Amino acid sequence: MDTLEQFVEKFSNAVDFQDAVELTGDTDLKALPEWDSLAALGVIIMFDMEYDKVVTGADLVKCKYLRDVYQLIG
């Protein structure tokens, strides 16, 4: 399983931020400028490709912090 740091890197690539954003496990998703349905779709695809895991939009809506998304790998 990836470390949180490895996951954060993959998350950043999946969301494809326009400007560099510092991400940690404590990052509040709603504070991210590009956190929208398209970013969520990128994360859903990342989970499928990188972790062979199905994650839904409903799963992501329940996540407040980036570490909550990381725990979906579980």
DSSP codes of every residue in the chain: ---HHHHHHHHHHHHT-SS-----TT-BGGG-TT-SHHHHHHHHHHHHHHH-----HHHHHT--BHHHHHGGG-
- What CATH number should be reported for the domain holding residue 31? 1.10.1200.10
What's the number of domains the chain is made of?
1
Specify the pLDDT at position 46: 97
Q: What is the pLDDT along the chain (74 residues), one digit of tens a residue?
A: 899 999 999 999 999 988 889 999 999 999 998 999 999 999 999 999 999 999 999 999 999 999 999 999 98
- Give the residue numbers spanning the domain of 19: 4-73
